[in-house]
Structure 1
């Protein structure tokens, strides 16, 4: 199942949003897979409403970053054009 690390709270917990239903799971930061941070997409396995396994989905993470960067660049250009008028 797809999930994303939404945020890190107090450097202790990761808030992970899972699936199309956007269920929220809060887990201790030490249980998060190495290399993951806010905005990292994951493949997770859930059993008894707990995340029991997770892997980084590098492809989705990278494509999401690119999409956000492109949108930010478009907003910057629009803002720049408005200031020139």
Structure 2
């Protein structure tokens, strides 16, 4: 009998298709999982991060990872602020 491989990794809710299926990206293993929306933890939305348990190449458990979601959203917000400030040109007058 083969031993079951169980991994606990980060997953990211990339998108929801047809209001029925959630596409979860697991960058660490470079894999995409598609799960029914009903299986998402309460409060899930696009760009949410999860701690996912994978057994035999299937997600068997998903828990919201609020801290990673907030950290990553903060990084995105900071980057967008920097990009917006650059697009307005320099704030200094040329002499």
Tell me if TM exceeds 0.5.
yes
Count of residue pairs the alignment pairs up: 84
Q: How far apart are 1:25 and its partner, in Å? A: 0.3
Q: TM-score, normalised by structure 1?
A: 0.91
Higher-Rg structure is 2
Q: TM-score, normalised by structure 2?
A: 0.82
2:17 to 9, 20, 24: 9
Gaps of 5+ in 2: 1-8
**Equivalence map 1:26-65=2 (5 Å):** 26-65=34-73
Structure 1 runs of 4+ with >2 Å offset? none
Higher helix share: 1
| CA distance in 1 between partners of 2:54 and 2:67 (Å) | 21
Cα RMSD between the aligned structures? 1.6
Gaps of 5+ in 1: none
Is 1:74–2:82 an aligned residue pair?
A: yes
Q: How far apart are 1:60 and its partner, in Å? A: 0.5
Q: How far apart are 1:49 and its partner, in Å? A: 1.2
